[in-house]
Amino acid sequence: MGDRNIQSARQSPLAQIAFVHAAAQMSGVEFSTLNLLAQLDRARWLPLTICPSEGDLPTRSRAAGVETAIVPIQNFRSTSTRLAGRTIANPFALGANMRALFVSARELAAFLRARRPALVVTKGLFAHLYGGLAARWARIPCVWHVQDRVSNRLGPIFPWTLAFAGRVLAREIIVDAESIARQLTPIVPSKRVTVIWNGVDTHVFFPQAAHSYLREEWHANDSDLLIGVIGRLTRWKGQHVLIQALAKIADEFSNARVIVIGTPLFDNDLYAQSLRDDVARLGLLERVVFAGFRWDLPAALAALDIVAHTALEKDSTPLAVVSAMASGKPIVCTRVDGTAQLFDEGVDGFLVPPGDADALAQQLRSLLQNTDMRDRLGRAARVKAERELSIEQFARRCESVFERALP
Can you give the pLDDT at residue 28?
87
CA-CA distances (angstroms) from residue 351 to 143, 219, 306? 33, 30, 14
Decide: helix, strand or coil at residue 153: coil
Cα distances from 363 to residues 153, 358, 367, 384, 387, in angstroms, run 28, 9, 6, 21, 26
More confident residue, 315 or 61: 61
Structure confidence at residue 5 (pLDDT): 45
Report the length, in residues, of the chain: 407
pLDDT grade, residue 211 (50/70/90)? Answer: very high
pLDDT for the residue numbered 75: 82
* pLDDT value at residue 3: 47
Listed range (259-263, 288-292, 311-315) with the worst mean pLDDT: 311-315
Residue 195 DSSP SS3? strand
Task: Please say if the pLDDT value at position 89 is more than 80.
Answer: no
Q: In terms of Cα–Cα distance, which of 196, 200, 161, 150 is closest to 177? A: 196
> What is 2-199+390-405's CATH number?
3.40.50.2000
Highest averaged pLDDT of the listed ranges 71-85, 305-319, 362-376 = 362-376
pLDDT category at 98 given cuts 50, 70, 90 is confident
Segment 73-97 shows an average pLDDT of 63
The CA R_g of the chain, rounded to the nearest whole Å, is 21
C-alpha 383 chain-centroid distance:
21
> Under a CB-based contact definition with an 8 Å cutoff, are residues 242 and 308 in contact?
yes
Predicted TM-score (pTM) above 0.85: yes
Q: What is the pLDDT of residues 340-351, one digit of tens each?
A: 999 999 999 999
- State the pLDDT at residue 290: 97
Confidence check: pLDDT of 337 > 50: yes
Mean pLDDT of the chain: 91
- pLDDT (average), residues 50-74: 96
DSSP secondary structure letter of residue 316? -
**Band of the pLDDT at 8, cuts 50, 70, 90?**
very low
Under DSSP, is residue 337 helix (H, G, I), strand (E, B) or coil? coil
CATH 3.40.50.620 fits 212-388, yes or no: no
* Banded pLDDT at 293 (limits 50, 70, 90): very high
78, burial (CB in 10 Å: exposed 0-12, middle 13-18, buried 19+):
exposed
Over residues 32-36, mean pLDDT: 95
Burial track 142-180 (b if 16+ CB lie within 10 A, e otherwise): bbbbbbbbbeeeeeeebbbebbebbeebbbbbbbbbebb
- Whether the pLDDT of residue 83 is over 80: the answer is no
- Give pLDDT, residue 84: 53
- Percent of the chain clearing pLDDT 90 (strictly above): 80
Residue 82's DSSP bridge partners are 87
User: Residues 255-280: pLDDT tens digits?
Assistant: 999 999 999 875 558 899 999 999 99
Closest to 288 (Cα-Cα) out of 219, 356, 371: 219
Report the C-alpha gap between 316 and 338 in whole angstroms: 4
Query: What order of strands is seen across the sheet that includes strand 331-334?
Result: 288-292, 256-261, 225-230, 306-309, 331-334, 350-352
Q: Residue 225: what pLDDT?
A: 98
Question: For 354, which DSSP code?
Answer: T
pLDDT value at residue 155: 67
What is the residue-wise DSSP string for 237-305?
A: G-HHHHHHHHHHHTTT-TTEEEEEE----TT-HHHHHHHHHHHHHTT-TTTEEEEE--S-HHHHHHH-S
The span from the CA of 196 to the CA of 205, in Å, is 20
Please report the pLDDT score of residue 313 as a whole number: 86
Across 308-330, average pLDDT:
94
Name the percent of the chain lying above pLDDT 70: 90
Q: What 3-state class would DSSP assign to 332?
A: strand
Instruction: Tell me: pLDDT of 188 over 90.
Output: yes
The whole-angstrom separation of Cα 39 and Cα 67 is 15
Q: Is the pLDDT of residue 186 over 90?
A: yes
| Whether residue 377 has pLDDT greater than 80 | yes
Give the separation between CA 44 and CA 119, rounded to whole angstroms.
12
Q: Determine the average pLDDT of the residues in 124-140.
A: 96
Asked whether residue 119 carries a pLDDT value surpassing 90, the answer given is yes
Separation between Cα atoms, residue 215 and residue 301, nearest integer Å: 11
Locate CATH 3.40.50.2000 in the chain. 2-199+390-405, 212-388
Confidence class for position 6, pLDDT limits 50, 70, 90: very low
| Cβ atoms < 10 Å from Cβ of 374 | 19
Average pLDDT for 25-45:
94
User: Residues 20, 121: contact at Cβ < 8 Å?
Assistant: yes
What local confidence, expressed as pLDDT, does residue 2 receive? 45
Task: Check residue 153 and give left, alpha or beta (phi > 0: left; psi -120 to 50: alpha).
Answer: alpha
pLDDT at 79: 58
Cα 282 to Cα 192: distance, rounded to the nearest angstrom: 49
- Quick one: pLDDT band at residue 154, thresholds 50, 70, 90? low
Task: Check residue 296 and give its pLDDT.
Answer: 95
